[in-house]
Every structure is written in structure tokens, then in C-alpha cells.
Chain A
Amino acid sequence: MSAPLSRTRDLVAALRRQLGEDDPQPPRAPLPPVPLPPERVFPSPRRRSRMAEAAAAHTTALVGIGHVGTRYATDVVLQFQAELAVAHGAVAAELPDGWAEARGYVPVRSRVAHHREFLLRPDLGRRLDEPSAARWSAECRKDVDVQPILADGLSAVATMGAGPELLDAFTRECERKGWSVGTPVCAKFARVWLQDEIGELARARVAVILLGERPGLGTGDGLSAYLVYGPKRGNTDGNRNMMSNIHARGTPPVDAARRLAVLVHLMLEQGTSGVSLDLAPRAAELGEAARGGYRAPQARSRLVEV
């Protein structure tokens, strides 16, 4: 009521009181009410614009969201912040102590001491610390065809989510093909290249590391898999094959396990991996395992409901 719209009016009001005029000050002319934003620039949750509806069949990009001035409407801001919080939560999460043991995996860790060091020192994340190397050497089954490795990577949330299901499905696929599978192992603070040391100690022909991938907005649950034939320290990215986007909205774990087994099959047949691996001999199987090409992505889920 008393926003200083007019200095002069406030001064005159004070003077009135001083002169003994105790009549209530007449009400100030009301400000015009602020109009509600027009529908076009501010689609409500219930009445999203037609364009946004149509776009949702083709993309998860947030389009058709309108604007207020040049900025976002409030519901868009909240959705965005919720997605951001989910991503940051996934990055900050760590595999709790005892999680691996409880599932019967041999727990190992890299030379990284803490989470911040994990982000800043990829070189340390590529090597086992000494107690882990000793324990793994002592406990692992040797001379296996396939060594699967579960690891946290950049999202322990994803690992703890679909990780065990993916590991089990992949192990079953390998056993069905008659390959020997290594002791299940779970690595903390692990980068992709850690698969070389773990696989080398088990003298595995192929090492497959399944780990949490870099979280995106609203999605901290994606897993990636990297495969290498002849794991040994000194391998580079050119020696590896990879598959990403393994989660319920991308490639489901069961489908991913089938596709990974096809890749392992090719590696065992050709004795190589990475850029020199020829996918053509099993292209049909790979395509079938991936359930063929493009699929319309599913709608982005609304995280904030009021």
C-alpha cells in the first residue's frame, strides 16, 4: 500500500497530519491489476501447446514451452531445476561400502582416494590399488573366455539401478553360448581402462566393463558397456567397442545383454576388437539384438507435479 510512488504525495500527507488533519488519507487510485500471461506464451501443464504435443512424438527436447519476455515460464524453470538436481545427485552418489559383497561380487577399487580425486585424476581411476590387485589375483577364476566387470563410472546410481540386472543377463547369454565366465567383480572409482588390468590378471580373452555413464538432464540412470579383446595395460580407445544408453528408456538391459554377447562372439572369432573388428559377419544378429534402428524416444517425464 505504501510503495513510494510519489514523494510529493507522501510529504503532503505528513504535512496534513502535522496540521492536525486527522481524516484518513483518501485511498490512492488503485494500480491496474497485472494481467495473466496470454496462453500462447505460457502453456499450462494441462493445456500444453499443440506444437509441443506434436513435437513430443519425435523428440525429448523441450520445445513449444513459450516464454515470458525472453525468459522461461515458472513451470519450465521448476522442471529444469528438478532435472538438474537429478543429474547432480547421480554424479555425487558413491557406491556404499558392502554393496558389492552383499551381491556376491568381489569388491575392488582403483587408486583414487575420494570422489573429487576420481573426477580430476582419470589416470588413477585406470589402475587397481595394491590391496585390490592382490585380492583379485588371489580370488579370481583364471583363463576365462569372458570377464564381466560391474563398475560405478560416472553414475553409481545407474550401477546400483540396472547394473546387477545387466550383469546377470549378460552372464546368462555367455553361459548359453558355452563360454567360460569370470568371477563377478565390482569396481569403485573406476574408469573404462580399468578393465585392462582386471582382465589381464584373470587372463581373460575378452573383458567387458559395465559402468554408469555421464548423467544428462533428468537422466542419471544410463549404463555404458566397453569391450576389449586381449585386455592388457597399454590398450587405447581404438582397441575397444562400446555401447551406450542402456536404461529403461533407451536399450533395456536384456536387449543390451544380447547385443553385447554378439560383439563378444565376433571378438572370439576374429581375435581382435575395436576399429579392426569387422561387424559385417554378424550384422543381422546385431541388428536383431538391437531390435532394429530408430525408435521414437519416449516423452520426457514431468518431474514436478503440483
Chain B
Amino acid sequence: MPVLEPLVPKVLTVRRLPGADPALLRAYGADPERHRALGLVTVDQDDPTYVALDEATKHAAVDVVYARSFYAGSRHASGPLSGEILGVLAGEDPAEVDAGLDALLQTLAHDACFYAADAGGNIAVFPHVIASLGHYLSAQAGLVAGTPMAYLVAPPMEATIALDYALKAADVRLVKAFPPPTETNFAAAWLTGELHACEAAAMAFAEAVVDVARQPRER
């Protein structure tokens, strides 16, 4: 497998609940006053899905009420349809939820994905640039919706080394770091700055992960 080949996420389930029970709505963080319809997905890659859920909030009147990664990642899933994440969109109007799901699936098919950082495809890197945040991730990051953000993920050592490169590569600011261990045992970081700076940082991050993969030991 060539280096930096896209590893396109697999969407395992897409289901809708046009009129979910209020108790279920409350249990999954929705507000029965404002939300009636749910759109649910499971996917084998969690971080592209967080990005795609956020994208949905930009295209439809929906909220991301629930999104959690599963322990130890998709290779240790509870079933063939579980993947690595369950994401839930909620809205008043089922048609809006449908529009949100359309945007989400489009993002997963054509935009957000991990890339192979080594020829064997065993090391994955997520050097993703979001040009304009939706209201889900912006709230998570404590940024204003519409701000650019670099969303960077890699395994623990690769991510730690690469984050240092990324921070030095451009005029960016560390918004939030997720040191290992996480649910999936990756490490991640969110950076913000001007769009071109986020792009430069993300590519420096990807390049550094490839470098660590090629040369795991300096001594």
C-alpha cells in the first residue's frame, strides 16, 4: 500500500427514528421540546465521523446530541455493525435530519478519512483541516462556529512527536490536546489559526507521522 493512501471509512449502519420516545431522547442527550426525530450511524472510524457530524450541523437544522467512541477501537468491536463510534443527530423535522444525514455521508465518502502512514497500512494518521467549524465541534473546542481548525490524530508516539512539528510549522494555537490513552488508544490534538496556518500544521503533522513510521528508533 502506498504511503498516505486514503483509508475510506466504512459506514456500517444508518437508521432513522422519525418520532423517538421522549425517554430515549432524554437518555441520549436530546431535548424532547426541540427534538423529535433522530438519525443514527455507526462507522468504523471515529474521528472522521466527529468531523462529519459537525458538517451535518452546517447543512441542516440538527444537533449532535450523542457521539462516543468505543473502547479499543473497531478491531475489538462488540459486533459486525458496531464499528468504532455511534453518532446521533437530532432535529424537530425528520426532513432536516435526512438532510443532515446526507451531508454526513457525503463527508465520510469524499472528505474526512484516515490515511496510511506506512506501506503496510498498519499506522493510521488523521491530519484533517476543517475550513469552517459547525456548531457541534466549535462548542466542544470552545471556539466560535466558522473558525478554521486542524483536527490531528495518530497513535501515541507518532502523535506526540508530530504535534511538536505541527505547532512549530505555522502560526497556530493548541486548543485542546488528547494525550493517550483515549477510548481507541490513539492520541489527538486540535489546533486553530488562520486557514493556511492550519493547513501547514496538518501537513507537517502528517509528514512527521510518516517519518516516525519510517524510522521508529533513532538509537
A interface, CB within 8 angstroms of B: 5-9, 11-16, 19, 21, 23, 26, 28-29, 31
Chain B nearest Cβ from A28, distance in angstroms: 7
Quick one: closest B residue to A13, CB to CB? B4
List B residues 1-28 near A (Cβ within 8 Å): 2-6, 8
**A8 in contact with B202 (CB, 8 Å):** yes
**B127 in contact with A19 (CB, 8 Å):** no
Q: How far is the CA of A5 from the CA of B111 in the complex (A)?
A: 7
**B199 in contact with A12 (CB, 8 Å):** no
Q: How far is the CA of A132 from the CA of B199 in the complex (A)?
A: 81
Residues of A within 8 A of B219 (CB): none
**B207 in contact with A9 (CB, 8 Å):** no
Quick one: closest B residue to A14, CB to CB? B203
Q: How far is the CA of A11 from the CA of B131 in the complex (A)?
A: 13
Q: How far is the CA of A7 from the CA of B113 in the complex (A)?
A: 12
**B8 in contact with A8 (CB, 8 Å):** no
**A29 in contact with B129 (CB, 8 Å):** no
Give chain B's interface residue range (CB within 8 Å of chain A). Answer: 20 to 34
**B115 in contact with A12 (CB, 8 Å):** yes
Chain B nearest Cβ from A101, distance in angstroms: 70
**A16 in contact with B110 (CB, 8 Å):** no
Quick one: closest A residue to B115, CB to CB? A12
Residues of B within 8 A of A12 (CB): 4, 6, 115, 127, 203, 206
Residues of B within 8 A of A15 (CB): 4, 203, 206-207
Residues of A within 8 A of B53 (CB): none
Q: How far is the CA of A5 from the CA of B108 in the complex (A)?
A: 11
Quick one: closest B residue to A6, CB to CB? B111
Quick one: closest A residue to B4, CB to CB? A16
Tell yes or no: B97 within 8 A of A by CB.
Answer: no
Q: How far is the CA of A295 from the CA of B46 in the complex (A)?
A: 71
Known: A16-B3, A16-B4, A26-B5. A9 touches B206 (CB 8 A): no
Tell yes or no: B135 within 8 A of A by CB.
Answer: no
Residues of A within 8 A of B6 (CB): 9, 12, 26
Tell yes or no: B128 within 8 A of A by CB.
Answer: yes
> Could you pull out 19 A-B pairs where Cβ atoms are within 8 angstroms?
A5-B110, A6-B111, A8-B112, A8-B127, A8-B202, A9-B111, A11-B129, A11-B202, A12-B203, A13-B4, A15-B207, A16-B3, A19-B4, A19-B210, A21-B2, A21-B4, A26-B6, A29-B109, A29-B110
B interface, CB within 8 angstroms of A: 2-6, 8, 109-113, 115, 127-129, 131, 199, 202-203, 206-207, 210
Quick one: closest A residue to B148, CB to CB? A7
Chain B nearest Cβ from A18, distance in angstroms: 8
Quick one: closest B residue to A18, CB to CB? B207
Q: How far is the CA of A26 from the CA of B6 in the complex (A)?
A: 8
Chain A nearest Cβ from B94, distance in angstroms: 21
Known: A8-B129, A11-B203. 9 other contacts (CB 8 A): A6-B111, A9-B110, A12-B115, A12-B127, A21-B2, A21-B3, A23-B2, A29-B8, A31-B110
Q: How far is the CA of A13 from the CA of B6 in the complex (A)?
A: 9
Q: How far is the CA of A134 from the CA of B207 in the complex (A)?
A: 95
Residues of A within 8 A of B206 (CB): 12, 15
Q: Tell me which of A8, A13, A16, A26 contacts B111 (CB under 8 A).
A: A8
Chain B nearest Cβ from A32, distance in angstroms: 9
**B112 in contact with A19 (CB, 8 Å):** no
Quick one: closest A residue to B128, CB to CB? A8
Q: How far is the CA of A29 from the CA of B9 in the complex (A)?
A: 12
> Which 10 A-B pairs give the minimum distances between C-beta atoms?
A6-B111, A23-B2, A16-B4, A5-B110, A8-B128, A8-B129, A15-B203, A21-B3, A21-B2, A12-B4
Residues of B within 8 A of A7 (CB): 129, 131, 199
Residues of B within 8 A of A13 (CB): 4
Chain B nearest Cβ from A244, distance in angstroms: 51
Quick one: closest B residue to A23, CB to CB? B2
Q: How far is the CA of A9 from the CA of B112 in the complex (A)?
A: 8
Residues of A within 8 A of B210 (CB): 19
Quick one: closest A residue to B107, CB to CB? A6
Q: How far is the CA of A118 from the CA of B10 in the complex (A)?
A: 72
Residues of B within 8 A of A28 (CB): 110
Residues of B within 8 A of A21 (CB): 2-4
Residues of B within 8 A of A11 (CB): 127, 129, 199, 202-203
**A19 in contact with B3 (CB, 8 Å):** yes
Quick one: closest A residue to B5, CB to CB? A26
